[in-house]
Structure 1
């Protein structure tokens, strides 16, 4: 869910929102909202016996390799901020290219 959100939302936010800080804030809020529901869904599946997201342990507690899930989602988060920055850079570059006047002598 968060990977889909990052791909579909981050770059357009950088392109469409003029203020980069506002684009970062909107992305962070959307990411945290989706991250909460994704994590809750994975924990509910883990309680029902699934070991796809979190590895099984002898004591059935969330310990051990949960750092892998945290690392993966943090990397997706960082990529999202990179895409927002790229979108903002492309927006500024396109706007600067549009300001070139052809009727003025070089």
Structure 2
């Protein structure tokens, strides 16, 4: 769920929201909501006996793997916002340069 959120929301936020800090904050809030729901869902399934997300003997190594994956997705989201903001500024600068040449 958080990977889907990152792919669908992060780059458009960088492109559409003028203030980069506001885009970061919006992404962080959305990520926190989806992350909480996803983690609760996975833990509830694990308690019911499902081993699809976590093995039956989930230890510290598995928790660190989940932390690493989610932290990487989180960082990629911020990178996509930064990329979108850079693309937005580049496009605006190019348009301004074309207008000045005419």
TM-score with structure 1 setting the length: 0.89
Unaligned runs of 5+ in 2: none
Structure 2 CA distance for aligned equivalents of residues 23 and 74 of structure 1 = 18
How far 1:102 moved relative to its partner? 2.4
Unaligned runs of 5+ in 1: none
Q: Return structure 1 stretches of 4+ with deviation > 3 angstroms.
A: none
RMSD after superposition: 1.0
Structure 1 CA distance for aligned equivalents of residues 76 and 55 of structure 2 = 25
Aligned residue pairs: how many?
Answer: 99
Could you say which structure has the higher helix fraction?
A: 2
TM-score with structure 2 setting the length: 0.92
Contact 1:42 1:53 in 2 (8 A): yes
Which one has a bigger Cα radius of gyration?
Answer: 1
Structure 1 counterpart of 2:18: 18
How far 1:83 moved relative to its partner? 0.2
